[in-house]
Amino acid sequence: FQADPQFILWGLKFLAQCTNSRARINSLAKHRISAYSQKILKEVVKETNIQYERNTKGLVYLYRNPEALAAGSHHVRLLQEAGQSLEIVGKERVLELIPELADSQDQIAGGVFSAT
């Protein structure tokens, strides 16, 4: 094994991002990029009438246990405060949104739903 200085430097930079404050900063930056991308996409579609495979049903982030769902709700609040429309939902609502998961319902605690 030969140490790779560039890899070690990358690893240290990565670890520097693994703090609560950096997670908050990075999450908010990702939110701003996402909102901007959606805005530009809507403008391009309106101007060009381009056709593409578009999901208009929203997105669900699944959680397998109540502890993970509770931890995820903290992150949801941060994004809600930034203007993101997110809803914490229980297993029943997840199954309404994605009925195909019925056979796996014992592995679902709940989720976070975004209509956009």
Same domain, 59 and 116: yes
CA angle, 20 then 21 then 25, to 5°: 115
Same domain, 64 and 78: yes
Helix ranges (DSSP H) in 17-90:
20-48, 66-81
Same domain, 37 and 63: no
Each of the 116 residues of the chain gets a pLDDT tens digit; together they read: 788 999 999 999 999 999 999 999 999 999 999 999 999 999 999 999 999 998 888 999 999 999 999 998 888 999 999 999 999 999 999 999 999 999 999 999 999 999 98
Same domain, 81 and 44: no
Same domain, 111 and 99: yes
Same domain, 66 and 91: yes
- Residues 6 or more apart from 113 whose CB is under 8 A from it? 58, 59, 60, 86, 87, 88, 89, 93, 94, 97
CATH number at residue 78: 3.30.9.10
Task: Report the alpha-carbon distance of residue 7 to residue 14 in Å, rounded.
Answer: 10
Same domain, 42 and 67: no
**pTM as predicted:** 0.75
**Domain span including residue 91:** 55-116
Same domain, 82 and 36: no
Torsion of CA 51, 40, 88, 76, to 10 degrees: 150
